[in-house]
Structure 1
């Protein structure tokens, strides 16, 4: 990073402090429109700062960095700097690519680290506490993005987050509710009371001031990624590890690198879909689902009919069976890209689908099953007036990750080690068995379902989208694409529509409440499907480029959270 001198940093800080902070507005409950740019995120303050950066002349990458750091302050349940994620981008010139800043296993990690002497999984060890944390990737990822594509000084992008951390922000009802859920876990794994522990609980509108996080962000402002992976912040992380039985070292932190990768890209009619390659499973899985869907007449089956849901479930089961065996970090495992994306292979894979009966998963494939990822993630989509587009999904895995806050640094560490197959061949805490492709190895990135996605039509930018949702991310993105490209829904309808999910195991179709009436549910059950009804699936953030070149931003207002779209 070409560092700007401290005097310039101070000047930026003074200028920004003198200006009014970006004021989040009451979220609209309809699409946003803009000719010069659009930001859609899970938090009003984050959306506001992204829009501010665009209005100050920054590009979509500048805005993405500012949004990411603001999320670390205002959305710590999923957006904080102790985690990692994935970015898919398209430049105004049409260049498409991706950035993998997924966490990695520490050097001391090994495949049996969560097993007891008898080879049984130790309940909770990979999900809560210091040993569940992988080496964070977010700060390195944001520096890579800025060095390659940034146009504004880095200090200008991170300073708003510093000011909000220092001066405080009002907690939303959603953030208050999630913080209150985990008070016992915070107390269990932290050496001393932390800022997020509050007697009597958090209430909407409470002021959250985070001075330690502000100092951590200042060290990043002044030193770039080195201000996180070395120096005082690194010392604090390692001290936390040593005090709590974790294994991340100074050497692990200094060795971390984000990786640029080509996207997984596939044609679907007039559209070209670009999504995330391994260490995410999202791109390959979405490509397989879209290629498989092209062999069937979904349009005539209708939207959210029992027939359509049955057929989607059949496709999903086969795709998730492939995920279980064939997908892992491609730097460590030879992922068979060509085979998995071969239309002939996919057609043969789906040839035994019957419209009159469900296919039991035991007949689709026997062997390993994929690891189910936590549901707590966040996504944002950004475009600028020039046509640069960023689709970025980030997480610490579970809400608040490992629940461990780095003492003196003010941020939570992830629990991404739980996304590895904790014991290949041995059932994990969910009764599931993991695949060899995703076994724990030092330096390896754990498999994810995060699926930031960009779609082109006729060689031009058309759609930017993504969602949280763990293993349902893939199927949520797939359904929005089908809703828009096949069923003819507009973007807000496509996002708001009820969703379903199926994977290889458990052998169940999950439906959002209201997706089907009782007669529709009975029709699926008559085909041999077991159903599970849950309150909600996903929280999509999407942007569509309209025919006149302007943008339509759609946040998911029908599900819990604080999503907001704003354009100008």
Structure 2
């Protein structure tokens, strides 16, 4: 299979999260106090209960994170990592980077054979695919800085769900059944997420080993994961599968507080994640690229809207391939990439009469330059504090390898590095030196947790899973509200499309574009391919009377408020 064929295949698989018929949710969930929107109803309930007990948005985020590790094993995790954007009701916004890191034993060519070619699936479904996990450290750090309620009370709901079990949905049953064969193949002697005869809706899933691990985290905090019994089990698993991270890697892992990247779109302020997320910079570039154009007049998903957005996306993703990486290892030219004159210059080659071939688009140049399966949750409390968190194992169920005795999945985030310059990762994204593998380095991400202000006041909390489509899904959801006058549920449910420079095609959800729009675009040279569901956006909109929650009908996502 050629590289192009492999990328197309993986995009087809990965854009479907999975491919179920979209259920239209006509109305947003409304509340006057707090709101939680996340990927699974039991996790949303855990967060809402914390808010009702007087906890703040960060307290609720901790409860949701651990509950999702139990109820949404496709992406909820303690063995992965993520990003948090926090906007207090009073004070300065902040972001927390709890992205995984490459082990100290990692190297730039670790996934290449003797001929310098990428070894298929080595960065995906092996023990060597796992970066050092960051989620537990991230939750500990967030709670220490901003939490209000006691730590043990926030972890306990997840323990209850793991040890007592919870009723699974039709979608979760199907996902576990679909992966049963690979679970068995990659986990000899283990029986996690497996059921004789297969799972069905309404079955109760009990996870005893995961519950024991969560008890240690409840009682010992960070040390309950990065030291002691759980650390021993992780290292034993690494040794059994020739994995790379060690106890020293676990000891040395620490999440990092970073200054948000911010920008404006009309009278809205965008507060979003800096590198090693590529999402924040890319989102701001996209918004500024389309700002001069009358999108409201063009209309939702019209041929002009789709063409303009596609051309902006192809240029932004080209920049992403060269300039974005871990800022602790690489000088990311953030100011240059976000300079209005630079963004304007990138759009000057846009021609309404014809598509700009991606082959003719290269990363931009400027003076002074020195040479992703995921889940999202949005929370706001009665005080007005807002949290936007995207967290991931990378692929659905991560590497699909469990830590024996501890009951949780290992990530396969190492695939988010550039295994070889110019060779696509599982999402079809290409990269170079900026995102090369180095010991202790954080891999580049597309996660784009975002908070929007209007005239200095909280306006919107938004984010999504979806690999390379995360950035464009957040971008389109924001435009759906601001430019196309949709309420938050309509904005989240609306059909989406995506372009990422390479491969050179517009990928659309079913019925996202009318036949007439497709014909118009194809005549201009655009290649259009239909796929399954793109993204699972969970968002909250501030209203005059309170909050509206939009939960994506593409998944089991749930909005709860009070």
- TM category (shorter chain) comes to over 0.9
Partner of 1:551: 547
Partner of 1:484: 481
Pairing partner for 1:166 from 163, 167, 185: 163
Pairing partner for 1:52 from 49, 52, 58: 49
Which blocks of at least 5 consecutive residues in structure 2 are unaligned? Answer: 1-23, 365-371
If the length of structure 1 is used for normalisation, what is the TM-score? 0.92
Task: State the shift of 1:155 in Å.
Answer: 0.5
Partner of 1:321: 318
If the length of structure 2 is used for normalisation, what is the TM-score? 0.93
SS in structure 2 at match of 1:219 = helix
Partner of 1:268: 265
Pairing partner for 1:246 from 243, 247, 250: 243
Distance (whole Å) between structure 2 residues aligned to residue 434 and residue 389 of structure 1? 33
Deviations 1:403-447 (A, max 9, x none): 110000010000000111111245667887531111000111111
Instruction: Tell me if structure 1 keeps the 8 A contact 2:267–2:455.
Output: yes
1:565 paired with 2:559, answer: yes
1:31 paired with 2:25, answer: no
Task: State the shift of 1:193 in Å.
Answer: 2.8
Partner of 1:361: 358
Alignment of 1:90-239 (within 5 A): 90-239=87-236
Partner of 2:453: 456
Distance (whole Å) between structure 2 residues aligned to residue 411 and residue 281 of structure 1? 27
Distance (whole Å) between structure 2 residues aligned to residue 366 and residue 71 of structure 1? 38
SS in structure 1 at match of 2:85 = strand
Q: CA, structure 1 residues 362+295, in 2 after alignment: closer, same or farther (shift >3 Å)?
A: same
Which blocks of at least 5 consecutive residues in structure 1 are unaligned? Answer: 1-26, 368-372
Instruction: Tell me if structure 1 keeps the 8 A contact 2:319–2:363.
Output: no
> Which has the higher mean CA deviation after the structures are superposed, 333-342 or 511-520?
511-520
Partner of 1:536: 533
Instruction: Tell me if structure 2 keeps the 8 A contact 1:194–1:405.
Output: no
Deviations 1:264-315 (A, max 9, x none): 1001111101111111000000000011111222222211101110110000
Partner of 1:307: 304
SS in structure 2 at match of 1:454 = strand
Deviations 1:481-502 (A, max 9, x none): 1111122222222111111100
1:40 paired with 2:37, answer: yes
Task: State the shift of 1:507 in Å.
Answer: 0.3
Partner of 2:61: 64
Partner of 1:398: 395
Distance (whole Å) between structure 2 residues aligned to residue 236 and residue 29 of structure 1? 47
Distance (whole Å) between structure 2 residues aligned to residue 489 and residue 425 of structure 1? 39
Instruction: Tell me if structure 1 keeps the 8 A contact 2:28–2:487.
Output: no
Q: CA, structure 1 residues 433+383, in 2 after alignment: closer, same or farther (shift >3 Å)?
A: closer
Partner of 1:4: none
Instruction: Tell me if structure 1 keeps the 8 A contact 2:190–2:404.
Output: no
Deviations 1:157-196 (A, max 9, x none): 0011111111111111111111111122112221313221
Task: State the shift of 1:197 in Å.
Answer: 2.3
Deviations 1:531-555 (A, max 9, x none): 110121111111111124x111111
Partner of 1:519: 516
Q: CA, structure 1 residues 502+430, in 2 after alignment: closer, same or farther (shift >3 Å)?
A: closer
Distance (whole Å) between structure 1 residues aligned to residue 186 and residue 92 of structure 2? 45
1:343 paired with 2:337, answer: no
Distance (whole Å) between structure 1 residues aligned to residue 330 and residue 219 of structure 2? 37
Instruction: Tell me if structure 2 keeps the 8 A contact 1:295–1:347.
Output: no
SS in structure 1 at match of 2:257 = strand
Distance (whole Å) between structure 2 residues aligned to residue 460 and residue 197 of structure 1? 47
SS in structure 2 at match of 1:543 = strand
Distance (whole Å) between structure 1 residues aligned to residue 178 and residue 408 of structure 2? 18
Distance (whole Å) between structure 2 residues aligned to residue 248 and residue 469 of structure 1? 27
Aligned residues: 532
Instruction: Tell me if structure 2 keeps the 8 A contact 1:121–1:429.
Output: no
1:475 paired with 2:472, answer: yes
Partner of 1:493: 490
Distance (whole Å) between structure 2 residues aligned to residue 427 and residue 381 of structure 1? 31
Distance (whole Å) between structure 1 residues aligned to residue 212 and residue 324 of structure 2? 39
SS in structure 1 at match of 2:198 = coil
Distance (whole Å) between structure 2 residues aligned to residue 425 and residue 547 of structure 1? 49
SS in structure 2 at match of 1:246 = coil
Stretches (4+) displaced over 6 A: 429-432
Distance (whole Å) between structure 1 residues aligned to residue 427 and residue 559 of structure 2? 36
Distance (whole Å) between structure 1 residues aligned to residue 219 and residue 427 of structure 2? 44
Distance (whole Å) between structure 2 residues aligned to residue 237 and residue 446 of structure 1? 21
Q: CA, structure 1 residues 556+418, in 2 after alignment: closer, same or farther (shift >3 Å)?
A: same
Distance (whole Å) between structure 2 residues aligned to residue 519 and residue 129 of structure 1? 46
Q: CA, structure 1 residues 95+105, in 2 after alignment: closer, same or farther (shift >3 Å)?
A: same
Partner of 1:297: 294
SS in structure 2 at match of 1:471 = helix
Q: CA, structure 1 residues 405+31, in 2 after alignment: closer, same or farther (shift >3 Å)?
A: same
SS in structure 1 at match of 2:289 = helix
Deviations 1:440-484 (A, max 9, x none): 001111111000000001111110011111110100111111111
1:408 paired with 2:416, answer: no
SS in structure 1 at match of 2:377 = strand
Distance (whole Å) between structure 2 residues aligned to residue 366 and residue 275 of structure 1? 22
Distance (whole Å) between structure 2 residues aligned to residue 328 and residue 344 of structure 1? 23
